[in-house]
Amino acid sequence: MKFTIERTALLKSLGHVQRVVERRTTIPILSNVLLSAEKGGLSLTATDMELSVVETLPADIGAKGQATAPAHTLYDIVRKLPEGAQIAFDYDAESARLGLSAGRSRFALSTLPVEEFPALSGDQFSHSFTLEAASLRNLIEHTSFAISVEETRYYLNGIFLHATENGSADVLRAVATDGHRLAQVEMPLPEGATGMPGVILPRKAVLELGKLMEEMSDPVEVGLSETRVRFTTADAILTSKLIDGTFPDYGRVIPTKNDKMLVVNRREFAEAVDRVSTISIEKSRAVKLGLAPGKLLLSASSEESGTASEELAVKYDAEPIEIGFNARYLLDIAQQIEGEDIELMLADASSPTLLRDLAEGSALYVLMPMRV
Amino acid sequence: MTIRLLPEAIVNRIAAGEVIERPASVVKELVENAIDAGARRIEIVLANGGHNLISVTDDGTGMTETELALSIERHATSKLTDDSLQQIATLGFRGEALPSIGAAGRLTITSRTRNAASAFSISVEGSRKSEVMPASHPVGTRVELRDLFFATPARLKFLKTPQTELHHAVDVVRRLAMAHPETAFQLSDEKRSVLQLHANQGELFDTRAERLAQILGREFTENALPIHAAREGMTLSGYAGLPTFNRANARMQYFFVNGRPVRDALFHGAVRAAYQDLLARDRHPVLALFLEIPPERVDVNVHPAKAEVRFREAGLVRGLFVGALRHALHEAGHRAASTVSQVALGAFRPETPPVMTEGHAPACALNERAPAYRPRLPGTEAPHARPEAAGEDVGEATTDHPLGAARAQLHETYIVAQTEDGIVFVDQHAAHERIVLERMLEGLQANNVARQILLIPEVVEMTEAKAARVLERADELAELGLIVESFGPGAVAVREVPAILGDVNPQGLIQDLADDLEEFEDGASLRDRLNHVAATMACHGSVRAGRRLTADEMNALLRQMETTPHAGQCNHGRPTYVELKLQDIERLFGRR
């Protein structure tokens, strides 16, 4: 195998695939990335057995062939090479070393046999459909923050993606929750997704997908089966196992009868919450929202630091109410809102509160209050 | 096979199996009888670990001729006067011990009352009774048991070595002796006296301290806090060891209910709760606690050997224990065990032991090397001391404060302070961490624990008994920020969790709690988790080792330690400071 490639393109793709590779693994081959030089160009493959990413990029192929090399080392080398460098790769099968040269730098990386690299099973996908990059990004971006990181409730460690109905419209809906808050984003159901199984995309796949989607505008093809999902773009394929579990019946926790409506400017609200919560006890970060017609009083107190309060002018005309929240949760949600105003629908100090972007109707958030 | 009534000999042998397990059980029954008879002096002799002979002699009230004949009948006792099991004030009451012992070996009882002209004796051999015969004996009773288990060879095979059996017997006597300081005990084997405890006269509390010192060592009473608390007719007294005086197992925890040694999970759980966050989970305090409770509120008739009891109001008893211990520990403030400084002193030994000649102060022997002196290597410095700080402080009265005035900081980690009669070394990180933690816990309590309500209440399934136990403590858990409610039999719904735990799995939390409640009757795991979060925060928020402190900062730390509860040990029970008394230092230099 022999090829030459431009540094910038390689760095970007390596950056994607090396993230899949775990820093510590008991299976040595999983620390390596598979390089395949083919007619169309170079493809890089990395996997942790759950998730795999294949990226293809143009290269000047001298001789076809395959080799594996330590992913993180390779990435670090390429990163440190000067910008604009042309990197020449040359695999010597006899010494099993991958030669790499650029300018006056020479590297010979030890490799592992290509045959050891796990072959990715060519799954049959029962459903496949196409999503606009922007729509897919919207689905995952606004829900991923609510994914639980607590590992024993594994079924919450991902985004629940499923087809359902909203009123009369068929929608594709993404939901994530950690038991304290919930985020839900939906879009019209794309063609081909009708009858798709509800699946839970694991957190790691969601994060990698987010990275891949960062500067992408092309449509993405999604393939689904009961156990796997595949996202295919023009030059990358991400395949992941799905979380085998039952996502809780989230529908019943989304309040429908909350009648106290509060509309507040997103930026003012987020900044005030952030300021006031400086006072509250680390970790719990409790802030209290005191509502009276036309105004919102944010306050926090802790035995150690003292008290803080800030008043905001808001749209509110229901009866006065006092309710506590975790400031971090409020800020997380405020960050998802793209429009100018947030709408909060409240019931009482112990019931779930519904939050929405006033400008954009596809997303909604549910937040459980805190007793302070 | 037809059903038939078993002959009495077999009945007795079966009953003996329950009560008489090993020589120590015989010793227990007989010594309890002696105590119940009001003995002031009890002598116990064991030959060959009790296998060949067990003899217990007391100077109690004794028995008359007729009583003596009755005593070896099953269910005959002098201890229940009105046929009611509600008011048991004696150690025994079942009327089973003597017949059981009689079924297990060759038993001879000799007894004389104060008014009798002579003593009488009776003997039983494998349930065959002899006539009552006149004998010679002073006032009191002597019970002799030879050839234990000769009638039940199966039991015989399970006996351990004489040494082990003797050890068990000694343990039994020690326990009973702790509760009865007014009685003298002597236990000997064929050759020597193994345990000798004099009767301690005088006021109850002092005699008990003296007896405990004899049994558990002087070290214990010196490092223990007196406990005295009363609540709703119950009294708890005794001694509880300082947290820094700890052991790797709970074997050195002695509990007594109305003078009866008992082992009960309830007590261990209460102790664990009281010492929590003062001790690491695998360390155990040493204590001896005595509970006096009206007999009708405790059921001792649970276990044939009466090692377990049941309380009518278990929660109340637990509360009394935790409250009393907490209070005492709180009062103790920053006291650390003197054993700590003993250990430190041990480490201080000069490299060459001074040549001690009898009657002589260790004069400077000519041939003695000067081990403490080593030429300083180039480039190394003496430990960083702060002479300027010391200079400023000389004027300050050191006598005002228990922890004295800071004199120097060594290795940027330890503070050296001078007190009126000694030196104090303080581990600055451990000490400050404790102060920050105490402040934080206080804040948590004052503010109520903030609770995050769950979006989807978590239903946790467990056995019905476990669920009931969790729900029983729902109020207590609510104070710690955990709201649970019943969700049908064998299930608990978690509605709210403490906010500082963050993204926590309620399922795991509740299961752990239920296990804890089952084992220790105490929800330690929740408090543990809260404390762990607080401790991590405290650790990050406190002065680390390696930071240079000014004299003012050091003094401020010392003053804070004096006013902070539990400042004598860090969160894991390690001492935060060590005090060396001047006399100890003088001893080091051979001045005393």
Higher pLDDT, A282 or B509: B509
Torsion region of B148: left, alpha or beta (phi above 0 gives left; psi -120 to 50 gives alpha): beta
* Average pLDDT of the segment spanning B495-508: 79
* Structural domain contains residue A306: yes
Interface contact flag, B440 A304, Cβ < 8 Å: yes
Higher pLDDT, B119 or B99: B119
Torsion region of B98: left, alpha or beta (phi above 0 gives left; psi -120 to 50 gives alpha): alpha
Burial, B577: exposed, middle or buried (Cβ in 10 Å; 0-12, 13-18, 19+)? Answer: buried
B447 contacts in A (CB within 8 Å)?
A: 281, 301-303, 372
Interface contact flag, B447 A303, Cβ < 8 Å: yes
Contact in structure between A85 and A183 (CB atoms under 8 Å): no
Interface contact flag, A178 B503, Cβ < 8 Å: yes
- Same domain membership, residue A138 and residue A65: no
* Average pLDDT of the segment spanning A333-355: 92
Interface contact flag, A370 B503, Cβ < 8 Å: no
* Average pLDDT of the segment spanning A260-283: 89
B453 contacts in A (CB within 8 Å)?
A: 350, 368-371
* Average pLDDT of the segment spanning B292-321: 80
Q: What is the pLDDT of residues B2-33, one digit of tens each?
A: 888 887 777 777 776 667 778 888 898 889 88
Residue A337 has pLDDT above 60, yes or no: yes
Q: What is the pLDDT of residues A167-225, one digit of tens each?
A: 888 999 999 999 899 999 999 999 888 889 899 999 999 999 998 888 788 899 999 98
Q: What is the pLDDT of residues B462-477, one digit of tens each?
A: 888 888 888 887 887 7
State what percent of residues in chain B have pLDDT above 90. Answer: 3
Contact in structure between A251 and B467 (CB atoms under 8 Å): no
At B350 the pLDDT is 46
Confidence of residue B208 (pLDDT cuts 50, 70, 90): confident
How far is B125 from B106, CA to CA, in rounded Å?
Answer: 5
Structure tokens at B549: 């402190």
* Structural domain contains residue A156: yes
Confidence of residue B380 (pLDDT cuts 50, 70, 90): very low
Confidence of residue B522 (pLDDT cuts 50, 70, 90): low
At A273 the pLDDT is 94
For B402, phi then psi, to 5°, come to: -60, -35
Residue B373 has pLDDT above 70, yes or no: no
Residue A335 has pLDDT above 70, yes or no: yes
Q: What is the pLDDT of residues B270-302, one digit of tens each?
A: 888 888 777 777 778 888 999 988 888 888 777
Count other Cβ atoms within 10 Å, centred on residue A33.
26
At B83 the pLDDT is 62
Q: How far is A255 from chain B (nearest CA, A)?
A: 11
At B586 the pLDDT is 82
Pick from B440, B456, B500: CB nearest A248: B456
Pick from B440, B451, B455: CB nearest A370: B451
- The ipTM is 0.70
B440 contacts in A (CB within 8 Å)?
A: 304
Looking at the complex, does the CB of residue B533 fall below 8 Å from at least one CB of chain A? yes
- Same domain membership, residue A279 and residue A175: no
Contact in structure between A1 and A91 (CB atoms under 8 Å): yes
Q: What is the dihedral of CA B527, B533, B534, B539, to 10 degrees?
A: 140
Pick from B439, B447, B450: CB nearest A370: B450
Domain count, chain A: 3
Taking a contact as any Cβ pair under 8 Å apart, which residues of chain B between 463 and 502 contact chain A?
496, 498-500, 502
Closest residue of A to B508, CA-based?
A: A152
* Average pLDDT of the segment spanning B338-348: 61
Single residue among A116, A141, A176 that ends a domain in this structure:
A116
A183 contacts in B (CB within 8 Å)?
A: none
* Structural domain contains residue A149: yes
- Same domain membership, residue A336 and residue A240: no
State what percent of residues in chain A have pLDDT above 90. Answer: 63
Contact in structure between A287 and A298 (CB atoms under 8 Å): yes
Interface contact flag, B499 A286, Cβ < 8 Å: yes
Confidence of residue B393 (pLDDT cuts 50, 70, 90): very low
Interface contact flag, B456 A303, Cβ < 8 Å: no
Looking at the complex, does the CB of residue B458 fall below 8 Å from at least one CB of chain A? yes
Confidence of residue B64 (pLDDT cuts 50, 70, 90): confident
B533 contacts in A (CB within 8 Å)?
A: 283
Q: In what order do the strands lie in the sheet with B234-241?
A: B224-231, B234-241, B287-292, B253-257, B260-262
At A60 the pLDDT is 92
* Structural domain contains residue A143: yes
- Same domain membership, residue A178 and residue A72: no
Count other Cβ atoms within 10 Å, centred on residue A37.
23
Q: Taking the CA of residue A204 as centre, how many other CA atoms within 13 Å lie in the half-sphere pointing to its CB?
A: 22
Interface contact flag, B500 A181, Cβ < 8 Å: no
- Beta strands in B193-296, from DSSP E residues, in sequence order: 193-197, 224-231, 234-241, 246-247, 253-257, 260-262, 284-285, 287-292
Sign of the CA dihedral running B399, B405, B411, B412: positive
State what percent of residues in chain A have pLDDT above 70. Answer: 98
Confidence of residue B94 (pLDDT cuts 50, 70, 90): low
Interface contact flag, B442 A350, Cβ < 8 Å: no
Interface contact flag, A368 B507, Cβ < 8 Å: no
Contact in structure between A225 and A123 (CB atoms under 8 Å): yes
B448 contacts in A (CB within 8 Å)?
A: 372
Count other Cβ atoms within 10 Å, centred on residue B69.
16
Higher pLDDT, A10 or B283: A10
Higher pLDDT, A21 or B329: A21
Confidence of residue B162 (pLDDT cuts 50, 70, 90): confident
At B334 the pLDDT is 63
At B524 the pLDDT is 62
Q: Sketch out chain B's domains with CATH numbers.
A: 8-197 (3.30.565.10), 204-332 (3.30.230.10), 436-540 (3.30.1370.100)
Q: Taking the CA of residue A45 as centre, how many other CA atoms within 13 Å lie in the half-sphere pointing to its CB?
A: 18
At B357 the pLDDT is 39
Burial, A370: exposed, middle or buried (Cβ in 10 Å; 0-12, 13-18, 19+)? Answer: buried
Structure tokens at B523: 């929800």
- Same domain membership, residue A158 and residue A226: yes
Element of type H or E holding B418: strand B414-419
Among the listed residues A38, A35, A41, A44, the one whose alpha carbon sits nearest the alpha carbon of residue A12: A44
At B351 the pLDDT is 41
Higher pLDDT, B355 or A90: A90
For A6, phi then psi, to 5°, come to: -85, 140
Confidence of residue B366 (pLDDT cuts 50, 70, 90): very low
Higher pLDDT, B88 or B553: B553
Q: Give the best residue of B455, B482, B512 to mutate against chain A (max A CB count within 10 A).
A: B455
Pick from A153, A286, A352: CB nearest B455: A352
Q: How far is A67 from chain B (nearest CA, A)?
A: 42
Q: Mean pLDDT over all residues of chain A? A: 90
Interface contact flag, A368 B451, Cβ < 8 Å: no
A150 contacts in B (CB within 8 Å)?
A: 503-505
At B448 the pLDDT is 67
The CA-atom distances, in angstroms, between A340 and each of A252, A259, A291, A343, A357 are 29, 22, 20, 10, 8
Name the least confident of B145-149, B344-348, B426-430.
B344-348
Residue A332 has pLDDT above 90, yes or no: yes
Residue A276 has pLDDT above 90, yes or no: yes
* Average pLDDT of the segment spanning B545-556: 80
Q: Mean pLDDT over all residues of chain B? A: 77
- Same domain membership, residue A53 and residue A11: yes
Single residue among A212, A228, A252 that ends a domain in this structure:
A252
- Same domain membership, residue A219 and residue A286: no
* Structural domain contains residue A273: yes
Count other Cβ atoms within 10 Å, centred on residue B113.
19
Q: What is the pLDDT of residues A118-146, one digit of tens each?
A: 887 666 888 999 999 999 999 999 999 99
Pick from B454, B458, B533: CB nearest A368: B454
Residue B349 has pLDDT above 50, yes or no: no
- Same domain membership, residue A197 and residue A108: no
* Average pLDDT of the segment spanning A248-265: 91
How far is A43 from A23, CA to CA, in rounded Å?
Answer: 22
Closest residue of B to A305, CA-based?
A: B443
- Same domain membership, residue A110 and residue A33: yes
A181 contacts in B (CB within 8 Å)?
A: 455
Contact in structure between B122 and B69 (CB atoms under 8 Å): yes
At A159 the pLDDT is 96
Structure tokens at A259: 């009648």
- Same domain membership, residue A311 and residue A241: no
Q: Which residues of B539-572 are buried (b: 16+ CB within 10 A; e: fewer)?
A: beebbeeeeebebebbbebbebbeebbbbbbbbe
Interface contact flag, B496 A369, Cβ < 8 Å: no
CATH of the domain at A238: 3.10.150.10
Single residue among A80, A95, A116 that ends a domain in this structure:
A116
- Kindly give the pairing relationship between strand A65-70 and strand A32-38: antiparallel
The full DSSP string for B128-176 is: EE---EEE---SEEEEEEESTTSS-HHHHHT---HHHHHHHHHHHHHHH
Closest residue of B to A151, CA-based?
A: B505
Among the listed residues A114, A101, A117, the one whose alpha carbon sits nearest the alpha carbon of residue A47: A117
Pick from B447, B451, B533: CB nearest A283: B533
Higher pLDDT, B466 or A316: A316
- Same domain membership, residue A191 and residue A282: no
* Average pLDDT of the segment spanning A55-76: 92
A365 contacts in B (CB within 8 Å)?
A: none
Structure tokens at A180: 């304290």
* Average pLDDT of the segment spanning B175-194: 87
Per the listing, tokens 């050891």 go with: A116
Residue A339 has pLDDT above 80, yes or no: yes
At B459 the pLDDT is 86
- Same domain membership, residue A233 and residue A182: yes
For residue A237, give its domain range.
Answer: 127-252
Which of B39-43, B67-71, B303-307, B523-527 is modeled with the greatest confidence? B39-43
B511 contacts in A (CB within 8 Å)?
A: none
How far is B370 from B535, CA to CA, in rounded Å?
Answer: 45
Interface contact flag, B447 A248, Cβ < 8 Å: no
* Structural domain contains residue A30: yes
